[in-house]
A and B are shown apart, each in its own frame.
Chain A
Amino acid sequence: MIAAQALTDMAPGFADLALDAQRTFRRLMDSMAKPGRVTDLDVLVSPPVPGFEAAGAIALALLDFETPVWFPDDADGRRLANWVRFHCGCPVTTDPAAAAFALAGPHNVPQIDHFNAGDAKYPERSTTLLIVCPALVGGAAIDLTGPGIAEPLSIAPAGLSAAFWGAVAQDRARFQLGVDLVLTCGTQIVGLPRSTRISPSSAKGK
């Protein structure tokens, strides 16, 4: 799946390895601790596929030789895989169930039940799935409750089907198992860890 690395046009990674990774992680941690809130990562990296700025920064901050990563098997996926593999030295896997992390979207959102949901005794061995959306607003509204959410909150990311949200709801029903999601668009992210319970918005039409 992975072609030889073409280094002449390899996009750069973080300008400051330690501090850019810290800033990126810290905002990601904040958005996982407070699910549903839109956070701007505010770190400038230019992955080879436009729209993946935040997802790419998170990959650079967290991936290394210990984290098999999955990409969609298409041209964009291969370009991203080359870039991430160059900067992080991470193994790239074609088996979603073997992936610690996965990057996908916006045209190619995979089925989340193909990814690793962890083990009852080791639930942390699940996949963290980063999905790039066309926009984080304007889609169908989804209500969120759970840890980190003070007042009932709803999000409306675009480009995600009812079937996708149905699969997420099923995934949430089997907590402590589950796939942790980060929705991204450009430099913005929304954390949706498995602890967040979701339902189609009841506020529709109000």
Chain B
Amino acid sequence: MTIANQSNRRAYNYAYLDEQTKRMVRRAILKAIAIPGYQVPFGSREMPVPYGWGTGGIQLTAAIIGPDDVYKCIDQGADDTTNAVSIRRFFARVADVATTERTQDASIIQTRHRIPEAPLGPGQIMVYQVPQPEPLRGLEPRETETRAMHAYEEYGLQYLSLYESVAAFGRIAGGAGYPVLVDERYLMSPSPIPKFDNPKLHQSEALHLFGAGREKRVYAVPPHTDVRSLDFEDYPFEVQSWDEVCGLCGCGESYKDEVILDDAGNRMFVCSDSAYCGDRRVAGHAGPMAGHALDGLATGDDNTDDDAAAVGIEA
């Protein structure tokens, strides 16, 4: 399918957004990369999905994507959830891109709430959908104040909040959106990824772009950048761990989702990253519940064909 015969049938611009909007988003992305971790305001547009469904991530992807890209979209680690499938089909249709579920094959990975388990390589771009870009917002509701706190690197309030958590719970509580310091300068919310994924941001090979549509902010972590999760010497940063292995693929290292199986209290833990789990099962790994009915749902048999078919169905 060529660009030319696509654009004849299209009633909108390449990659959905108009060129002026793309220029505006692109300028914001460049400044975000130049000031790692700083939230650049941008003129977020109305998108064909409601706020909370990835409007920030979609605008970033639309601004950077080209026909040579291979696009992957995940929601909570899974490629086959409604939001991820919809957004993947959207870009297959409006940007003529190939789509994939394999992390290694993707050039742009749009995500909500996870970083894939497979290590990211140079040249890959992660695009995060961010609900609340301001890490200090829960502590200070005024934008004028948080902006000044970032300007003058005044992050005592954040440390106080961590200390109060230690005083109340005996540990630094909070499992997702755990605050980080980027290149030892800007305090940043890594978006609601589990803190399990925070270490993947540190000195990553990939470029990480964060887009908040409702809050109208974009920020970035370039490749090979220091990203430090805040902690105390006597209460060091720790990630989640599980006693169970993945019920389907037997992986002990991945981030797990707990799945309730029935009313009798039976449950299983499975990899949250569906493509990673599927790859492992194809490679012959089996967990204690291999063969379970859930096993057949995501064994690396991606729905790229579905997406290609969707492109053909032009309204």
Contacts and interface: CB of A to CB of B under 8 A. Distances in A.
A2 B224 CA distance: 44
Contacts of A61: 23, 26
B166 interface: no
9 contacts: A22-B14, A29-B26, A30-B123, A62-B26, A123-B38, A124-B41, A176-B38, A195-B34, A195-B222
B223 A33 contact: yes
A192 to B, nearest CB: 9
Contacts of B26: 25, 29, 61-62
Interface residues on A, range: 35 or more
Interface-centre pick from A22, A32, A33, A121 (highest chain B CB count, 10 A)? A33
Contact of A33 (B15, B19, B24, B222): B222
B34 A32 contact: yes
B225 A148 contact: yes
Interface of A: 17-19, 21-23, 25-26, 28-30, 32-34, 61-64, 66-67, 100, 120-121, 123-124, 126, 128, 146-150, 175-176, 178, 180, 193-195
Interface in B36-68: 36, 38, 40-41, 63-67
B109 to A, nearest CB: 15
Interface of B: 3, 13-15, 19-20, 22-24, 26-36, 38, 40-41, 63-67, 123, 147-148, 150-152, 183, 185-186, 203, 207, 220-226
Main secondary structure of the interface of B (DSSP, over half): mixed
Contacts, number: 113
B223 A128 contact: no
Given A29-B64, A62-B27, A64-B20, A180 B13 contact: no
A148 to B, nearest CB: 4
Contacts of A25: 26, 63-64
Given A33-B33, A124-B28, A195-B183, A21 B23 contact: yes
A21 B207 contact: no
A66 B24 contact: yes
A34 B44 CA distance: 26
B13 A176 contact: no
Contacts of A33: 33, 207, 220, 222-223
Given A25-B63, A195-B36, 12 more contacts: A18-B13, A25-B26, A26-B66, A29-B30, A29-B33, A30-B207, A33-B223, A61-B26, A64-B20, A148-B222, A178-B34, A195-B34
